[in-house]
Amino acid sequence: MGRAHSNAFLQTPHFFPVKIRPRLKVICGRNAPALQSMAAQWGWEETATDWRTVIDRKDVDAVDIAVPNYLHAEIAIAAAQAGKMVFCEKPLATTLADAERMAAAARKVRTLVWFNYRRVPAIAFTRQLIDEGRIGRVFHYRAVYLQSWGNDPARRTGWKLNRAEAGSGVIGDLLSHLVDTALFLNGPIAEIRAQSKIFLEGREVEDAVAAIASFANGSFGTFEATRFATGMLNRNGFEIHGEKGMAGFDFEDMNRLLFFDASVAKNEQGVRSFLVTGPDHPYWQNFWKPGHTIGYEHTFIATFGDFLHCLETETPFHANFDDALAVQRVLDRVERSE
């Protein structure tokens, strides 16, 4: 994730009308040679191997945490206590207790959690459609995150498969994204029941999870996240079915939105597929011409662009640590529901 974040820091001023220009002061990690190469490629001024020394520096205003999940809490709390702005990868923590401690510690500083999908133009536009009453009372919120690398023999190691480092499997890695998007679009989850599954013997973390939920707004929810959906690379998607319309999204086609308007003449009703790349779509003034699509990295740029704007205007930014804590509460119920 270091590359995606570095890129966002550098690119934001090119696309967003911000006054603050982030300075890539020091990049910190445990592998010194890799760090040198990364610093050279992305223009970080210095490198460090002990994060504590970075937090102690007076010339550092913000700390961005992109390390295995189990390290989030300690670094974030230390950084917040040192008065730094704190950016953190998702999931916020490996336990609800840690997440609560982090949110408590960071309440006086500005925080950002990289729930980058909120800034996919199609998702931001879905939020706008909901606000405009184009979906109406919601009946169903149906979300899936389907990947397939879980069964790839070449990918049998790494901290994401290690319980001690990752805390969980798809629950923290994928379901966290689905839940943040759901809370963002459809509001609080009142109840959730889930079941998870390990397919490979010896695997420490769950390969798949499914959940059935009730939202506070009365809608019925289903969630499914897996690393064993053969044929799918990164299908992070949802369908929202409401009284007035339907919206659907799939990150594999991230520039597109599906939209159904139940108010047009019956015989002309159909699911529309369109590029969310027009002058009246979120973030499109920032990027390219209509029909000229953006990619994965732009979700980070837009996230950081909004963060800087909020910083400059002293307005609240979301998703922050409290938003991520709300996600963690749902994940906790998922883990305890079995």
Q: Which of residues 266-305 bind its own copies (CB under 8 A)?
A: 266-275, 277-281, 287-288, 290-298
Q: Are 170 and 209 in contact (CB under 8 A)?
A: yes
CB of 303 to its own copies, least distance (A): 15
CB of 18 to its own copies, least distance (A): 10
Q: Does 160 bind its own copies (CB under 8 A)?
A: no
DSSP states of 124-178: HHHHHHHHTTSS-SEEEEEEEEE--GGG-GGGS-SGGG-HHHHSSSHIIIIIHHH
Task: Tell me how crowded residue 293 is: count the other CB atoms within 10 A of its CB.
Answer: 15
Residue nearer to its own copies on the CB measure, 110 or 134: 134
Residue nearer to its own copies on the CB measure, 230 or 313: 230
Of 260, 242, 257, 261, the closest CA to residue 122 belongs to 257
- Which range in 49-57, 60-68, 204-212, 321-329 contacts its own copies by CB under 8 A? 204-212
CA distance 164 to 30: 18
For residues 109-128, which are near its own copies according to CB under 8 A? Answer: 125
For residues 47-106, which are near its own copies according to CB under 8 A? Answer: none
- Which range in 60-68, 89-97, 101-109, 192-200 contacts its own copies by CB under 8 A? 192-200
CB of 321 to its own copies, least distance (A): 25
Q: Does 159 bind its own copies (CB under 8 A)?
A: no
DSSP 108: T
CA distance 178 to 185: 10
Joined tokens for residue 97: 């207790």
Query: Which residue type occupies 170?
Result: V
Contact letters for its own copies, residues 2-41 (x by CB under 8 A): -xx-xx--xx-xx--------------------------x
Residue nearer to its own copies on the CB measure, 96 or 232: 232
* Cis amide prior to 91 (ω within 30 degrees): yes
Sign of CA dihedral 1, 127, 217, 242: negative
CA distance 281 to 278: 5
Contact letters for its own copies, residues 237-256 (x by CB under 8 A): --x-xxxxxx-x--xxxxxx
Q: Does 322 bind its own copies (CB under 8 A)?
A: no
- Which range in 27-35, 76-84, 87-95, 195-203 contacts its own copies by CB under 8 A? 195-203
Residue nearer to its own copies on the CB measure, 79 or 211: 211
Residue nearer to its own copies on the CB measure, 125 or 317: 125
- Which range in 58-66, 87-95, 174-182, 264-272 contacts its own copies by CB under 8 A? 264-272
User: b/e per residue, 30-50, with b = 16+ CB within 10 A?
Assistant: eeeeebeebbeebebeebbee
Q: Does 139 bind its own copies (CB under 8 A)?
A: yes
Q: Does 42 bind its own copies (CB under 8 A)?
A: yes
